[in-house]
Amino acid sequence: MNQANAPRHVDVAILGAGTAGLGARRAATKEGATALMIDPGPFGTTCARVGCMPSKLLIAAADAVHHAKQAPMFGVHTGEVRVDGPAVLKRVQSERDRFVGFVNRVIDEAGSEDELIIGRARVAAAGRLVVDLDAGEEVEVTYDKLVVATGSTPFVPPPFRGLDPALSLTNEEIFEMTELPDSILVVGLGVIGLELGQALHRLGVRTTLVGIGGQVAHLTDPVVNAEAFRVLSEELDLHPDYTLNSIETVDEGVSFHFVDSRGEERRETFARILLAAGRTPNLANLGLESAGVDLKKDTIDPDTLQLGEHPIFVAGDVNNLHPLLHEASDDGRIAGGNAARHPDGVRAAKRRTPLSIVFSDPQIAVVGQSYAEVGSCSAMAGEVDYGDQGRARVQGINAGLVRIYAEQHTGRLIGAELFGPRVEHTAHLLAWAVQQAMTVEQALGMPFYHPVVEEGIRTALRNLSANLRHGERIKCAVSEMGVGS
């Protein structure tokens, strides 16, 4: 790896060496351009290091505890379940490091090919970067095109910013714990908050989860959202619409005074807080203004990822368009390819059907257009209640509700919101059907084996088919997200 102070010039400079940055490098070099990634580290991608992989490892441990405790339902008695917190976290970290190692091999390869500088870059002028290296040294890099793939940072709501940092965790610190806390407050009910909050609860940590607006994860369908709240509340101390009165550091940890979703005033003390209230794109302090960018006026084209009219392309979580790993990978390919071909070869990319999944239990997924995105409301919905679904009941996982949406006049499938058992699988089936522009009747013509959980989708499709013939359109209003008592 060449880290000499000699100035360098490349066709495409890439700020960031995460999923999007790595994808941009591959795409740019495939087009015959020279590419250089610049990143201060640590390496390993958000997903592998502090995101989807370590969280699934923690969830796997929590699921093992839950299944053992559910065994008596089937006449199977395993005795007392004991959670060895340090052992759980040791496995999470060991396997996490293994996944990170796979990514770091690619980083090492880029370094050996002189396509990586370890340092923090800032734009000094259009076409010119200054990279701060270790020991106070700098190197200048000039470029023809720029890809910004700097990721995002956990957002800390203002009321929580004055707390003792030793008591506050984000997804970037929680997987470094060596012991499970006795209690934890989870702030935010998005993917991170709901997944980790439920996992910690199942591992024996006293857990309270709070959010605002009444929304559970990214559900916008009020019917599905209400069912998710009802079912999850049977297990979790869950409050999607709370009011904060005060929060302060005390000897025992953090004192939290709030009004919960039932309107009850409570004062609780927690050993730790997990802040999972969203993420902020890492655009500040990059110096893009020095390249003539006006971040208030220049927008990112969602199809080409070009920033305004500048030779700059924004990929991955930093563009705040599709903050998911597979989308970040696609973003990198789109941005890197368009940067290499700029100005004559920039082209809009065909995106895949949107698909997002929360690995809670029951799981949550949104496919294609969400309820809130249906827009004109010239659509119909069909649903299935998993309370009596055959295979789900056999397995003792019979809880959840799924709603599927189709255009009223064509019957074409356009989206779904799912809360139920193993919907990570059924969501994929629906995403493929939406991307293939299948109609409800075409989907019903597909094979469904018996008995499988996927049969629930057929029930919802049959209901949707009937509604298309003589039902009422779905409601346009999506404001009734409240989940009172």
- Does residue 144 share a domain with residue 17? yes
Tell me the per-residue pLDDT of 235-287, one tens digit each, with 9 for 90 and over. 999 999 999 999 999 999 999 999 999 999 999 999 999 999 999 999 989 99
Q: Is residue 350 part of a domain?
A: no
State which of 277, 300, 332 marks the end of a domain.
Answer: 277
> Is residue 376 predicted with pLDDT exceeding 70?
no
Three-class SS state of 270 = strand
> Is residue 2 predicted with pLDDT exceeding 50?
no
Q: What CATH number does the domain containing 170 carry?
A: 3.50.50.60
Q: What CATH number does the domain containing 442 carry?
A: 3.30.390.30
Tell me the per-residue pLDDT of 126-170, one tens digit each, with 9 for 90 and over. 999 999 998 789 999 999 999 999 999 999 999 999 899 899 999
Radius of gyration of the chain (CA): 24
Predicted local confidence at residue 475, as pLDDT: 58
The pLDDT > 90 percentage for the chain reads 89
Average pLDDT over residues 395-414: 96
- Measure the CA–CA gap between 330 and 316, rounded to whole angstroms: 8
- Does residue 241 share a domain with residue 104? no
Q: How confident is the model at residue 483 (pLDDT cuts 50, 70, 90)?
A: very low
pTM above 0.95, yes or no: no
With beta carbons less than 8 A apart as the criterion, state whether 216 and 240 touch.
yes
Predicted local confidence at residue 474, as pLDDT: 67
- Measure the CA–CA gap between 269 and 253, rounded to whole angstroms: 7
Average pLDDT over residues 206-213: 97
Instruction: Count CB neighbours of 230 within 10 A.
Output: 14
Q: Is residue 476 part of a domain?
A: no
Q: 418 - beta bridge partners?
A: 365, 402
> Any idea what the Cα angle at residue 284 is, between residues 177 and 187, rounded to 5°?
40
> Is residue 41 predicted with pLDDT exceeding 80?
yes
Q: Is residue 220 part of a domain?
A: yes
- Does residue 442 share a domain with residue 409? yes
DSSP string computed for 428-463: HHHHHHHHTT-BHHHHHTS---TT-TTHHHHHHHHH
> Is residue 334 predicted with pLDDT exceeding 90?
yes
With beta carbons less than 8 A apart as the criterion, state whether 271 and 184 touch.
yes
Q: 8 - beta bridge partners?
A: 141
- Does residue 209 share a domain with residue 140? no
> Is residue 50 predicted with pLDDT exceeding 70?
yes
Tell me the per-residue pLDDT of 81-122, one tens digit each, with 9 for 90 and over. 999 999 999 999 999 999 999 999 999 999 999 999 999 999
> Is residue 388 predicted with pLDDT exceeding 80?
yes
Q: What is the mean pLDDT of the chain?
A: 93
* Residue 410 CA to its chain's centroid (Å): 32
Residue 153, both tokens = 């940072």
Give the range of the structural domain holding residue 322, as residue numbers without chain letter: 8-47+96-153+280-341
Predicted local confidence at residue 470, as pLDDT: 79
> Is residue 316 predicted with pLDDT exceeding 50?
yes
Q: Is residue 121 part of a domain?
A: yes
Phi, psi for residue 7 in degrees, rounded to 5: -60, 150
Predicted local confidence at residue 375, as pLDDT: 65
Three-class SS state of 145 = strand
| Count of domains forming the chain | 4
Predicted local confidence at residue 482, as pLDDT: 32
- Does residue 137 share a domain with residue 20? yes
DSSP string computed for 336-383: HHHHHHTTT---PPPPPPPEEEE-SSSEEEEEES-GGG--S--EEEEE
- Does residue 421 share a domain with residue 375? yes
Q: Which residues lie closer than 8 Å to 427 by C-beta, 6 or more apart? A: 355, 357, 365, 366, 367, 416, 418
Predicted local confidence at residue 174, as pLDDT: 95
Q: How confident is the model at residue 78 (pLDDT cuts 50, 70, 90)?
A: confident
- Measure the CA–CA gap between 188 and 239, rounded to whole angstroms: 10
> Is residue 478 predicted with pLDDT exceeding 80?
no
With beta carbons less than 8 A apart as the criterion, state whether 149 and 332 touch.
yes
State which of 341, 363, 386 marks the end of a domain.
Answer: 341
Average pLDDT over residues 322-339: 94
Average pLDDT over residues 375-400: 91
